[in-house]
Amino acid sequence: MKKTQIIVIGFLGLGLIDSLITFGFPIDFTYTAYSVIPHFTFIGTLIYLHDKEWLNRVLIGALIGALFDALFANTFLIYMVLFALGAYLIGCLRPWMCTEPRKFWIYWAFAFLFDLLPYVTLRLFSSGYPRFLTWMLRVEAATLVLDAATILFLMYAGQVMSRFFKIRDLREQKKVRQKIKRAKFSRK
């Protein structure tokens, strides 16, 4: 399989995991029970796009967000804008992402902001929305734990995939060199 095919299948899988977790453990908007909001696709987008050029980040982030909107979230343009904005901002922080622990904390902060922005918006425009502490304890605490595990898993998966593609490229280069070498010996 080609690298782009594997990446597309991976993002479809992340979106499916997001949907399955949300279906299996629905979000309680009455805030009487604990809820978890998965962010596999958003975190995967950040990890994949952090080292790309700004225009590629924005366009790919918007495309992933639009597909997530259409296939999994049934919203219109909300995730497209949030994913594109997150993709742009993650690239702006590239100079500070020099170690793995820093990357982890930056991704974790983005996942928290991904939930905080809708909370603040709803809190400002809705009088019956719960207080910050209630929201933090009932929804965001478990979500942050799941986000931490997601980030660690996806960072590891990204490293494994980059090693896999590097090894595959080296093997292909070695085969090409061997073919050239055989062609030189066959002429003599």
Report all structural domains of the chain as residue ranges with CATH numbers, in order of start: 3-187 (1.10.1760)
- Dist CA 143 CA 26 (whole Å): 13
Using DSSP, state whether 188 is helix, strand or coil: coil
For residue 173, what pLDDT band results from cuts at 50, 70 and 90? very high
In order of 31, 36, 86, 104, the CA distances from 64 in angstroms are 30, 22, 12, 21
For residue 90, what pLDDT band results from cuts at 50, 70 and 90? very high
Residue linked to tokens 């804008």 = 81
pTM attached to this predicted model: 0.84
Determine which helix (DSSP H) or strand (DSSP E) holds 36, and give its type and residue range.
Answer: none
pLDDT of residue 104: 95
Determine which helix (DSSP H) or strand (DSSP E) holds 17, and give its type and residue range.
Answer: helix 3-24
Average pLDDT over every residue of 58-74: 90
The model's pLDDT over 19-46, given as tens digits with 9 standing for 90+, comes to: 899 888 888 877 788 888 899 999 999 9
Average pLDDT over every residue of 68-85: 87
pLDDT of residue 188: 61
The model's pLDDT over 102-137, given as tens digits with 9 standing for 90+, comes to: 999 999 999 999 889 888 988 898 877 888 998 899
